[in-house]
Amino acid sequence: MATAQFRLFQPPETDRGDAPRTLSVEIFVQPRFSQLELSSVNAVLEVANDVQDRVRFEWSFVSDMPGLVANGNFMVRAEPAIEAEFLKDCMIIIGGEECAAQVWMKRVRAMQRLNRPVVLFSDAATEFVKAGGNGSQPATTHWRDIPILNEIGDFTTLTTHLGEYGNGTLTCAGRGHAMEAVFTLVSDLLGPHERAEMAALLILDGIRGFHRDQPKGHAQGNTFLEGPVKRAIHLMEETIEEPLPITELVKRIGVSSRQLERLFRIQLGSSPAKTYKMIRLKRARSLLTETRMPMIDVALACGFASVSSMSKAFRQAFGMPPNSLRTKQRASE
């Protein structure tokens, strides 16, 4: 597969004890960046420097809003991004709630022209796909955004893999997979012993390859949910548009209504009905903020008979009506 051929950098040309090769990394951040992804990238690069001395990684933060860039109390000092100037050996774009492709796409294009690798995590990968950055090449993003992208366009090359490589660019699920992804890319430059030491220091038991499918939704790949609860949530996520009655849900799972209710209370602290409604409302919230679908279409896509019924449930769950959320989102664009 193409993804397996992706390298963050070319291996050093010599291993004769010469001065270590220095490789520079640009980490592009925007306000409300993903703390998890940023911490993962930092951790892997630091440990890679600790376990060997043939290759030294240097990294700096860049942003279209230079100075202190923050997500809550977590702040980094970023240098200004000047269109396609001062490019590094590699560019990593961190996802986040205010990720906007128009401010970093010129840098991505410049990196591609120079055949230098670009890595985009989660929200950044989503924005890259929306902007048509992958062209006809395969791409992926966090599973949460894949249904949204499929609602707003015909992205035929979009996959559910953990990572996809095309045209010098790696799109990746990010979030909890960010550390594994950077580990995989950096470890190409290290020997087996160094890779083993890195994994031990980072407490990584195993590395999932980019070709692996992501666990999609709460039910898949979740070791915290067990048996009937896991199967029930999987069914709920598969039937958002046409919700099943709880009586039909328990029939398909093969348990009684009372037993399922008890298991949901134990494992999730909620009832099956409330959990089902919240899954649908979260999908509605994503469609409202990420698409321009008419309100009635959002309601029907999320299993509500009318806009008024969705609005009532939405206000109870999130403290505001859906039209207010959409207005607020558009005002920030």
The string of pLDDT tens digits covering residues 196-206 is 999 999 998 88
Contact (Cβ atoms closer than 8 angstroms) between residue 219 and residue 237: yes
| Banded model confidence at residue 1, pLDDT cuts 50, 70, 90 | very low
Return the beta strands (E) in the chain as ranges.
Answer: 21-28, 55-63, 67-71, 74-80, 90-93, 118-121, 163-166, 169-172
Q: Is the pLDDT of residue 108 over 90?
A: yes
Mean pLDDT of 33-49: 96
Contact (Cβ atoms closer than 8 angstroms) between residue 174 and residue 37: yes
Mean pLDDT of 77-85: 89
Chain-wide mean pLDDT for the chain?
88
Lowest mean pLDDT among 25-39, 57-71, 116-130, 204-218: 204-218
Beta bridge partners of 57: 23
Write down the residue that tokens 């919700």 correspond to: 243
**pTM of this structure:** 0.75
Of 301, 284, 290, nearest to 333 by C-alpha is 290
